[in-house]
Structure 1
Amino acid sequence: MNKFIIYLMLLLPCSLQAQAQQKTEIYGKIFSADGKPVEGITVKLLPQDISVSTKANGSYLLKSLKPGPAQIHISAIGIQSQIRDIQLEEKRNIISNIYLTEDQSTLDEIVINGASKNKYTRKQSLYVSKMPLRNMENSQSYAVVTKELLKSQVNTNYDDALANVSGIDKLWSSTGRPGDGVSYYTLRGFTTQAAMVNGVVSIASTSPDPANLETIEVIKGPSGSLYGGAAVGFGGLINNVTKKPLDTIGGRINYIFGSYAQHRVTADVYGPLTANKKLLGRINTAYSHTGTFQDAGFNKSIFVAPSLLYRPNDKLDIQLDAEIYQSKATNPMMVFLNRSRQLFARTPDELQFDFNKSYTNNDVTFKNPSTNLRGNVNYRINEQWTSNTTVSYNRRKSDGYFQYIMYLQNANDTLINRYAALQNYVANSINAQQNFIGDFHIGGMRNRLLIGLDLLSQKSETHNSPYVQTDQINTSYDDPDYYKFNAAFIDAAIAASNGAQTNNRSRTQVFGAYVSNVLDVTSQLHLNLALRMDYFNNKGTYNIDKDTTTGKFNQTAFSPRVGLVYEAIKDQVSFFANYQNGFKNVSPVVQPHPSVSGDFKPQQASQWEAGVKFNLLEDKIGLTASYYDISVDNMIRPETIEIDGKSYNISVQDGTRLSRGLDFDLTAAPIQGLNMILSYSFNDSKTTKAAANVNNLRPTEAGPKHLANIWANYTLQQGTLKGVGIGLGINHASENIITNSIPTGTFVLPSYTLLNGSLSYSYKHMEFAVKANNLTNQTYFKGWTTVNSQMPRNILGSIAYHF
């Protein structure tokens, strides 16, 4: 017996040691088909029946495993499952990267593992930093408008979609005019337009149709280090992310109708085009017609956007997109105020003007056809490097009658001049962009390196009649001459004019090279450094009638960026700070004296920003809040100098401007069925060295100081009323000074608060909704040196079928 005990005691340590040696672990990562880490995928090991979910970086770890043959099962709701046979060794097993057949856009459509999802946000972006980067580790602040938010708001137009974002407000609706017909917005106190699609330049003559949008990214602050200066404002930029083909069959057909002859039909159909799912397709289409509350005016359009995605293997993705748009519309009514003397009216109420009149006619129209073609090739060179190549072609046209009205009389603000012209403008642009993206470690620190080149070539040709004054109307009463205006009336005025036509061609080229690195000093401390070199070459404007070319010049600009992010709680709380730079090319001028140079340098904007980002309660609450300070140098201002006893009015480049403020964007899904978005912004802008007439005054492009927006939508999840939803929203803007100078004084648009609401019901494949905008029928205005009356109360109905 004693011998048996001794033998057992000697054997036990050996047995324990043998058992300890039998325990092992496996580690690996899962990526989407386009190389993005995927969170929330279930990794199950058989036959030991142990499961884990992947983390935000796509990694998974299974411990306390027995060596021997095993299988890894990869699964999640809505994705194609995968099985991999492995042999577990007694050491740590590193599994080679696993790539899903679905890309990131497909996965965004899926609620991973059925978990509650914050539908009004996205956790990462492929375009903000031109590389896959989570918001929590990005030193730049940006906000996202998702297609789910647009759906819940029964959205029918692009301008309304941007009302959900802090710091941005519409100044002008789309005019369709040559060169810059897209809507103008103020963003952090500076003008900007929607000019980017999937991270490349795509300039249009009218605002985008939202039917093909996956998200809208409002990227805040000067962003010259990655995006250059050709299509970016100092307050930031707007990037439209389009819908991508999916490997599952589905779609949605929607009819929206309502007040003021609003009719909109959209269709979104997607799915695999081959049995092996290597070729995927998607098509989005829309037909829209919108009337007006005024006595004349309409806008109708047709939009078609096909997309193909080919994946011959797990390393290569080839995508081809097209967006074809046709529109016909009347000119939006904007009242231009006098700019040379003291105004008699200081508010819309004091202006003797009937805003129910359009000052146009339904036969005074213009067309804005446009075509966008894009090709993208994404190739995974190896596990560390990816090549991404994009070529984009854009053709746009402005063709028809363009008009405006303006108070020009010295003695009153009651006689308004009506002007019109017949214009024919066509432009095209080609943007080629090559990015190499690396993800590797040096000295134990992770590097995400971007090396990029892009070329932007733009051409335009203009054949315009002169702008002519067609008539003068007294706005203080119902002037009978008001009703004489039509297309024939304009043609007669142009024929009688002695003004010269405009017939010219212009061409510009921009070449940019940039490098950016996100360095993980630790797993929670991220340093971003970026630099861009930009060469701008204006080939000049060729006057076809005179056979002369003027305006040739070129400029070189450098744009640095430094950002720092500290994740105080990994993936949940980040503190960030950045220095960002932007630039704008400045044309030379002819000075009145030969001793004064008319050549200028690019304008430069510098931003310092600090803030915090939250991603709490398993993605249920997302927040970005920041304070920014933007200063602009090298602005042009007038100055009078004396040379040899004679005075000369010259242009000098030492003007400055400041813009400071706060941005706050919150999204929340605190309970199942409830989704909310809330934003607030404050902006304080002024010129600090400018012409005496405007020095130390708020620029008219800065918009309202305060903006606040909220939208909440709750859908019942169970019971007899399951599928019933209710939405409620508020849009608020403080007063807006749209004219502000010593010669004119100020003209102020009053503050407003709009109340919006919706009721919806979903049953199986059907969706029904009613949306009321401006429920209290507020009279309100927007503008930028102009007074632009906005929509009164309007009701929309929506019927949709999804499959």
Structure 2
Amino acid sequence: MKIKSTLAILCLFFVLSSGTNWAQEKGTIKGQITLNDKQSPENISVILKGTGLGTITDSKGNYKLKNIKTGNYTLKISAIGYITKELKISLTKGQELTQDATIIANSEELSEVLINGGKKNHFAKKENQQVSRLALKNLENPQVYTTISSELLKEQVVTNIDDALKNAPGIQPLWTSTGRGSDGAGYFSLRGFAVQPRALNGLPGISNGSLDPANIDKIEVIKGPSGTLFGSTIVSYGGLINITTKTPYERFGGEINYTTGSYGLNRVTADINTPLNEDKTVNFRINTAYHSENSFQDAGFRKALFVAPSLSYKASDRLSFLINTEFLSNEATNATMLFLTRSTPLRVNNIDELGYDNKRSYTSNNLSIKTPSFNLQGQMFYKINDSWTSQTAISKTSAKSEGYYSYLFEGTTSFPAITEGVVFARYINYQNSTTLATDIQQNFIGDFKIGNMRNRIVAGLDYFNRQIIDNGTGYIVNGRIYIGNDDLQTVNENVFGITNPAQYITTGDNGKLSKNATDALLAGATVNNSKTKQEVYSAYVSNVINFLPSLSAMASLRVDRFMNAQNGTYNQTALSPKFGMVFQPILDKVSLFANYMNGFTNVAPAEDINGTTRTPRVFNPEHADQLEFGTKLNLFGDKLYGTFNYYKIKVTDRVYNIRNSATDITYFQNGAQKNEGFEAEIIANPISGFNIVAGYSYVDANVTKGDATTVGYRPTSAGAYNTANLWASYRFQENTLKGFGIGFGGNYSGENKITHGAVTGTFTIPEYTVLNSSIFYGNDKFNLTLKIDNIANVDTYDGWSTIHPRNMRSASASFSYKF
């Protein structure tokens, strides 16, 4: 027995000794990676080429690779937005090799100039070359923009684009997605002008429905008339909404999420990334989502399937490719919208007088609309030399609408016996429309010095082609709807023409909302057969000159040639200039800026009508000019970002008409409008784990010249005078509560004059404050969030001469697992 024990001990000693010797034969590679622009060096990829071994750096840039066989290797160091560095190293037996390195920023990456993953202030992701088409930091850019990060959207359990945009000061919903052809995406008021989210990675991305946030890395709300760099196809005078999508990276990883909540919400998303070859030069990423949700109203639903594959390929240190695609299959009932009269005096002037029950949808789940869409984008980046980079981009987009679209309209029919309340007519048609768009861009981006002055310049050519094919039907009336408090007998006899009490309608709606009945009504409707085509040829240049490290100027110019294939007289040429100045009294911390910006709109031809005589009219492009100044802050080591600015936008050459009757219409092009306002934004991380996003906006807007019935009145697209947003969250950093967190915030909107004019009078949506809260727990692998929206269950509405009820109180739970 003793011999056996001795043998066992000797065997164990032999194994341990062998393991020790084996470990001693292998070596370790460690070091620290730094960035030349002093950004956080966390999450930088460090791999040994040809071995499959790799790691990422910690918050200080440190890395370590253990148990490496002796031999010669190539150490590859890479990060998005930086030039990849490869170092030849030799590892001897048992050696602990220290290999430090510094990598430098590279303007060839469009998606991200700076790495933000290691910042404590993780709601701040300001830097993006798409904003100015140049590698400018926020403090160097004389234009104002707000960035909404994907981290903020996750923390708020955001499942739609409308809720995402609530985090940007100065932007308000006008109406939600309708799904109707060519303009079915949601509309928002930005600096008092209507805008849709039509930019995807700085390129046109058209949608007829609600956008899915699953593939969003961040959203940039770029403010002011940005015609100089982006043209007129995707912007408004208030600015544009640009969505930056997620891109592949050089390691395997991903995240799976399930969200459930009120009104039948069920949502599953997946984000998976993987290298496709050993050298990790080809990387693939796919984001996908399934979404199913009902409405808080008596009818309404949305079902969607979203898939977004993307591929990156780095052919060499000079040449790289990026392909982004998105496919969305969406079916929904269109939102309830009450259109108020635009030509006669209003019968009611506010929500209380209207007496509308916002739980009523006045639609049916049998009458839905499908809005499938796709976006395909390909980009090629080629580094010509140390000073110049070429970027070639091609995008194709398709948005289709097929199904039933309806709205309620306050008609001109008079019902003298009705003493209070409003009678609406339900208009409905069958949508069958497809919008196709192609965009081709070629940009040359330079960064060089002339003498001691640094120049950053982009010069580009852009071709845009859009076709709209419409084979839908005309509108028919599918019943009348009474909203008010008159007695049942009066309503039935005077609105619905029913005198027999046994046949009285108690719902205030005599429409036929079954599919068969609606199809029978539409059988007699006219069918459209139209196809329109528009082309825009553009050239632009923008240069930022640094006279001093703290003083720079931007000068930009664009020329657009707009062509309409169906009407040769519609061809127009427009020039759009832009100037800006930035002075940094404290370099990289405080900047003072001012800008002049221009935007334009190509105005379609029209006809003056005088009895039987029709006189064609061709108009010049309409223009908007903005003057703006303010300050931007980046203080306490990225812990406080702030922007405070004042702007004034003047619109000239507006086209309007004086309509005395259907046979007496005269057009004029001397209308004008003035919008001015103040905005403030703060993104702060005052203490570790505590993050704040806050904003305030004031907008004053008036028609200053034009139709006498509108001069001096507030345009319906202006939204509320005052709005504010807030989200604050704290995640515990230590002790037993480490990983737990709470969030709280909401939105305030002042009174909103959604109809305002001398003829109609004013309809005002009341002010409201919506409060939201969440509690969450998570670590590096998983996260669980519970959230309540609209805690006080406040009635809220948006509108644009329309009334649309927004969501009531809801609860949701979200679980994510990372790998």
Q: Which residue of 1 aligns with 2:535?
A: 509
Give the distance between the partners of 2:538 and 2:427, measured in 1 at CA. 40
1:618 is aligned to 2:637: yes
Aligned AA for 1:610? F
Report the CA distance shift for 1:75/1:214 in structure 2 as closer, same or farther (over 3 A). Answer: closer
Percent of aligned positions that are identical:
41
Aligned AA for 1:314? D
Report the CA distance shift for 1:793/1:338 in structure 2 as closer, same or farther (over 3 A). Answer: same
Deviation at residue 207 of structure 1 after TM alignment: 2.8
Q: Which residue of 2 aligns with 1:285?
A: 288
Contact persistence 1:627–1:661 (CA under 8 A)? yes
1:420 is aligned to 2:428: yes
Matched residue SS, 1:332: coil
Matched residue SS, 1:501: coil
Q: Which residue of 2 aligns with 1:720?
A: 736
Give the distance between the partners of 2:614 and 2:467, measured in 1 at CA. 34
1:533 is aligned to 2:559: yes
Write the deviation string for residues 386-412 of structure 1: whole angstroms up to 9, x where unpaired: 000100000110001111111213345
Deviation at residue 117 of structure 1 after TM alignment: 2.3
Contact persistence 2:732–2:740 (CA under 8 A)? yes
Aligned AA for 2:138? N
Write the deviation string for residues 398-427 of structure 1: whole angstroms up to 9, x where unpaired: 001111111213345432211111121012
Report the CA distance shift for 1:666/1:229 in structure 2 as closer, same or farther (over 3 A). Answer: same
Deviation at residue 108 of structure 1 after TM alignment: 6.0
Q: Which residue of 1 aligns with 2:451?
A: 443
Give the distance between the partners of 2:687 and 2:729, measured in 1 at CA. 11
Q: Which residue of 2 aligns with 1:401?
A: 404
Deviation at residue 370 of structure 1 after TM alignment: 0.6
1:662 is aligned to 2:671: no
Contact persistence 2:388–2:447 (CA under 8 A)? yes
Aligned AA for 1:308? L
Give the distance between the partners of 2:114 and 2:303, measured in 1 at CA. 32
Q: Which residue of 1 aligns with 2:693?
A: 677
Q: 2:437 is matched with which residue: 410, 413, 429? A: 429
Q: Which residue of 2 aligns with 1:361?
A: 364
TM-score (norm 1): 0.85
Give the distance between the partners of 1:588 and 1:483, measured in 2 at CA. 38
Matched residue SS, 1:493: helix
Contact persistence 1:30–1:100 (CA under 8 A)? no
Report the CA distance shift for 1:74/1:637 in structure 2 as closer, same or farther (over 3 A). Answer: closer
Write the deviation string for residues 550-585 of structure 1: whole angstroms up to 9, x where unpaired: 575100000000000001111100000000000000
Matched residue SS, 2:351: coil
Give the distance between the partners of 2:184 and 2:747, measured in 1 at CA. 25
Deviation at residue 483 of structure 1 after TM alignment: 7.0
Matched residue SS, 1:696: coil
Alignment of 1:233-272 (within 5 A): 233-272=236-275
Matched residue SS, 1:618: coil
Write the deviation string for residues 406-453 of structure 1: whole angstroms up to 9, x where unpaired: 121334543221111112101211000110000000021000011000
Q: 2:162 is matched with which residue: 138, 159, 166? A: 159
Give the distance between the partners of 2:296 and 2:202, measured in 1 at CA. 37
Contact persistence 1:463–1:502 (CA under 8 A)? yes
Q: 1:754 is matched with which residue: 757, 765, 770? A: 770
Alignment of 1:139-538 (within 5 A): 139-408=142-411, 409-411=413-415, 413-476=421-484, 478-479=506-507, 481-482=509-510, 484-495=512-523, 497=524, 499-538=525-564
Give the distance between the partners of 2:126 and 2:328, measured in 1 at CA. 31
Aligned AA for 2:794? Q
Q: Which residue of 2 aligns with 1:136?
A: 139
Write the deviation string for residues 197-239 of structure 1: whole angstroms up to 9, x where unpaired: 0111111111321110111000000001111112210000001
Aligned AA for 1:518? V
Deviation at residue 41 of structure 1 after TM alignment: 4.5
Aligned AA for 1:313? S
Deviation at residue 650 of structure 1 after TM alignment: 1.8
Deviation at residue 72 of structure 1 after TM alignment: 12
Q: Which residue of 2 aligns with 1:598?
A: 617
Alignment of 1:11-90 (within 5 A): 39-41=39-41, 83=87
Write the deviation string for residues 236-273 of structure 1: whole angstroms up to 9, x where unpaired: 00010000101021111111110011111111111211
Q: Which residue of 2 aligns with 1:56?
A: none
Matched residue SS, 1:508: strand
Deviation at residue 345 of structure 1 after TM alignment: 1.2
Contact persistence 1:352–1:414 (CA under 8 A)? no
Report the CA distance shift for 1:710/1:516 in structure 2 as closer, same or farther (over 3 A). Answer: same
Give the distance between the partners of 1:190 and 1:301, measured in 2 at CA. 30
Report the CA distance shift for 1:695/1:102 in structure 2 as closer, same or farther (over 3 A). Answer: closer
Deviation at residue 316 of structure 1 after TM alignment: 1.1
Q: 2:570 is matched with which residue: 553, 568, 571? A: 553
Give the distance between the partners of 1:465 and 1:640, measured in 2 at CA. 27
Deviation at residue 156 of structure 1 after TM alignment: 0.7
Count, aligned residues: 718
Q: 1:744 is matched with which residue: 740, 757, 760? A: 760
Q: Which residue of 2 aligns with 1:650?
A: 666
Write the deviation string for residues 483-506 of structure 1: whole angstroms up to 9, x where unpaired: 7422212111112x3x42211111
Give the distance between the partners of 2:568 and 2:80, measured in 1 at CA. 59
Report the CA distance shift for 1:595/1:254 in structure 2 as closer, same or farther (over 3 A). Answer: closer
Q: Which residue of 2 aligns with 1:571?
A: 588
Contact persistence 2:752–2:767 (CA under 8 A)? yes
Give the distance between the partners of 2:779 and 2:714, measured in 1 at CA. 52
Contact persistence 1:395–1:428 (CA under 8 A)? yes
Deviation at residue 123 of structure 1 after TM alignment: 3.7
Give the distance between the partners of 1:569 and 1:674, measured in 2 at CA. 26
Contact persistence 1:602–1:634 (CA under 8 A)? yes
Report the CA distance shift for 1:229/1:101 in structure 2 as closer, same or farther (over 3 A). Answer: closer
Aligned AA for 1:616? L
Give the distance between the partners of 2:461 and 2:352, measured in 1 at CA. 52
Report the CA distance shift for 1:576/1:100 in structure 2 as closer, same or farther (over 3 A). Answer: closer
Report the CA distance shift for 1:222/1:521 in structure 2 as closer, same or farther (over 3 A). Answer: same
Report the CA distance shift for 1:105/1:234 in structure 2 as closer, same or farther (over 3 A). Answer: closer
Give the distance between the partners of 1:272 and 1:82, measured in 2 at CA. 18
Contact persistence 2:624–2:649 (CA under 8 A)? yes
Report the CA distance shift for 1:490/1:617 in structure 2 as closer, same or farther (over 3 A). Answer: same
Give the distance between the partners of 1:331 and 1:756, measured in 2 at CA. 26
Deviation at residue 352 of structure 1 after TM alignment: 3.3
Q: 2:704 is matched with which residue: 643, 667, 688? A: 688
Write the deviation string for residues 580-604 of structure 1: whole angstroms up to 9, x where unpaired: 0000000111224789771111000
Q: 1:580 is matched with which residue: 591, 597, 606? A: 597
Aligned AA for 1:297? G
Contact persistence 1:360–1:486 (CA under 8 A)? no
Deviation at residue 475 of structure 1 after TM alignment: 2.5
Aligned AA for 2:261? G
Give the distance between the partners of 1:77 and 1:210, measured in 2 at CA. 22
1:634 is aligned to 2:653: yes
Give the distance between the partners of 2:76 and 2:395, measured in 1 at CA. 40
Matched residue SS, 1:738: strand
Contact persistence 1:310–1:319 (CA under 8 A)? yes
Matched residue SS, 1:591: strand
Give the distance between the partners of 1:98 and 1:732, measured in 2 at CA. 43
Aligned AA for 1:152? E
Gaps of 5+ in 2: 1-32, 45-56, 58-73, 90-100, 489-505
TM-score (norm 2): 0.84
Give the distance between the partners of 1:599 and 1:447, measured in 2 at CA. 41
What is the RMSD of the two structures over their aligned residues, measured on CA atoms?
Answer: 2.8
